Chain A
Amino acid sequence: MRKILVTLKRVVDSNVRVRVKPDGSGMAVEGLKMSVNPFDEIALEEALRMRERGEAGEVLAVTIGGDECQQQLRTGLAMGADRALLVRCEGEVQPLAAAGILLEVIRREEPDIVIMGKQAIDDDCNQTGQMVATLWGRPQATFASEVKLNGDTARVIREVDAGLETLEVQLPAVITTDLRLNEPRYIKLPDIMKARSKPLETLSADDLVPAAPPALTALSYEPPAQRQKGVVVDDVPALMGMLRERGLVS
């Protein structure tokens, strides 16, 4: 039976507005509600559906970070993952470093499919899945909106700028999720109880990858340039008048 590895990243909840610290040294995230990155929830949901259809045996949820990330792994276990793995790591983990750590996890676990969110909603990098596939020397199907498994291949419909592209990749492969792949399930109370007894293993990132790869240095954070609030007009003729004045419509 296929084994599926899903990555879950702990991020500030998508409904919370994050601001820059007044001194520009970072983002003011202390005390904010934290959640599983929404694209990663979609990744886990897809893996669970594969298992429920009998296309996969085991679903493993993995994250990298501090002990607080156990919370997101418990969420993943409550959603239905069979077991969870925390790779403990201090500080920020950039995509290339995350990919290197995940590669070592992949070598230990030997999954047939790795499903990841296409981007995390904090750094908005959209890199880690592609980097994992590359370091692993395996195919990638990014921005998936439909995945069909058939033997040792996956046929993936991808959301690209020009429309919908279909790739066929040989397994094992990395798939990253777009929004419309599925709608993640809600967690029910008994599932939370059940999740407490599921296995959650912890490893050390330093043991897996002794030397960190080159990384970007964050120099400063600033709020974005704000657009000035404009005017509210009363009717369409007033609107059209302003647009004509600016030469925007004939």
Chain B
Amino acid sequence: MSAVLVVAEHDGQTLHAGVARAVSCGLAIEADRLDVAVLGQDCGGVARQAARIEGVTRVLCLDRSENAKPVAAIRAPQLAALAADGYSHVLGPSTTFGKDLMPRVAALLGVPQVSDIMSVEGDRRFKRPIYAGNAVLTVETPAEHIVVGTARLASWPVAGEDGEAAIEQAQTDVELPEHTSWLELKSAETERPDLQSASVVVSGGRALGSGENFSLLYDLADRLGAAVGASRAAVDAGYVSNDMQVGQTGKIIAPDLYFAIGISGAIQHLTGIKDAGVIVAINKDPEAPIFEVADIGLVGDLFAIVPEIQAAVEDS
């Protein structure tokens, strides 16, 4: 009998949008049941959100003060204990949260991890990208061992939200380490949608020339209700913060509409956007590799074109 456990990411109040995508990945395994584990403190609200995801059998709450913050070393032993109790698969989202936590769970269980699952080919067979997306590898996990993996969120749709899963309190009898203290999280204050779940994303590259010039993109994004991203080159140049980075070493995203503005289109960037619905590229170099993957290209000066697009959106 197979059973999938999906680890919920949340900030104490809100369930991360990626959990409903990781659930889709879990459902593709066609297990007998799929449970969601919510580790937190007073996380009933998060549990109720998880219970609404379609396809979820049960939501298991591990409510304790040590779980107030997402410290991998503290959560992993609890998850490993929970997973070892009757689950065939444990999945997390392939976000910084899941990437930090799941290898710890795998190591505690003594099994390898399948990172960035993009498709399920069987209950032990998965596809995942390697070499910055230059290849897709099909792997098989060892028989008789629990499967630990992370779901590449851009590969999975958001599961429906008409579910009515039961919510249960769970307990694990494991010793938790005290060697790690969570001190603070500094978030960029933004009213814009989250980069990983936004339906429209406007990204800028080195051609923006400065952090100040990114205001052009912020203005357009606000007009479009879009999130703002950046290429690694723009991050490396110090124009914007790293949490905006899209690509192999940043975020992998799949918006319906993606604007690549002043981005040449290095393979490392393209790997982060190849599941986008429509890619619009604006670049002054007609030979830029971004035009090889863009659905709609426009060659020219971004400093003239972006305000023109914004005006066109405002007119409508």
Q: Do A and B bind each other?
A: yes
Task: Give me the interface of A with B, judged by CB distance under 8 Å.
Answer: 12, 14, 17-20, 27, 94-96, 99, 119, 121-131, 133-135, 137-140, 142-143, 145, 155, 158-170, 173, 178-180, 213-225, 227-237, 239-240, 242-244, 246, 248-250
Give the number of residues in B that approach A within 8 Å (Cβ atoms).
Answer: 87
By secondary structure, the A interface counts as mixed
In the complex the two chains form, what is the Cα distance from A147 to B289 in whole Å? 36
Q: A125-B115, A221-B135 are in contact. Are A240 and B145 (CB under 8 A)?
A: no
Closest to B128 in A: A124
Which residues does chain B contribute within 8 Å of A224, judged by CB atoms? 129, 133-136, 274
Judge whether B66 is part of the interface by a CB distance below 8 angstroms: no
In the complex the two chains form, what is the Cα distance from A128 to B103 in whole Å? 8
* B305 with A230: CB separation less than 8 A: no
Judge whether B139 is part of the interface by a CB distance below 8 angstroms: yes
* B299 with A20: CB separation less than 8 A: no
In the complex the two chains form, what is the Cα distance from A96 to B108 in whole Å? 10
Q: A99-B107, A162-B11, A180-B242 are in contact. Are A229 and B99 (CB under 8 A)?
A: no
Spot the interface stretch: B27-35, B53-61, B183-191, B205-213: B183-191
* B88 CB, min distance to chain A CBs, angstroms: 14
Judge whether B215 is part of the interface by a CB distance below 8 angstroms: no
Among B100, B145, B235, B309, the most chain A Cβ lie within 10 Å of the Cβ of: B100
* A140 with B72: CB separation less than 8 A: yes
The digit string for B221-243, where 1 denotes a CB below 8 A from any CB of A, is 00010000000100110000111
Q: Can you list 9 A-B pairs, Cβ within 8 angstroms, ordered by A?
A: A27-B135, A124-B131, A126-B99, A130-B72, A160-B97, A168-B181, A179-B242, A224-B135, A236-B308
Judge whether B130 is part of the interface by a CB distance below 8 angstroms: yes
* A232 with B299: CB separation less than 8 A: yes
* B316 with A96: CB separation less than 8 A: no
* A121 with B107: CB separation less than 8 A: no
Among B138, B188, B305, the most chain A Cβ lie within 10 Å of the Cβ of: B138
In the complex the two chains form, what is the Cα distance from A18 to B187 in whole Å? 36
* B293 with A130: CB separation less than 8 A: no
In the complex the two chains form, what is the Cα distance from A7 to B110 in whole Å? 22
* B297 with A164: CB separation less than 8 A: no
Task: Give me the interface of B with A, judged by CB distance under 8 Å.
Answer: 11, 71-73, 76, 95-97, 99-101, 103-104, 106-108, 110-116, 125, 129-142, 145, 177, 179-188, 196, 200, 224, 232, 235-236, 241-243, 248-249, 251, 256-257, 267-268, 274, 277-280, 286, 291-299, 305, 308-309, 312-313, 316
Which residues does chain A contribute within 8 Å of B299, judged by CB atoms? 232
Q: A127-B106, A133-B73, A219-B125 are in contact. Are A18 and B135 (CB under 8 A)?
A: yes
In the complex the two chains form, what is the Cα distance from A142 to B71 in whole Å? 11
Among B111, B139, B182, the residue within 8 A (CB) of A165 is B182
Among B97, B132, B196, the residue within 8 A (CB) of A121 is B132
Which residues does chain B contribute within 8 Å of A233, judged by CB atoms? 296-298
* A237 CB, min distance to chain B CBs, angstroms: 7
* A249 with B183: CB separation less than 8 A: no
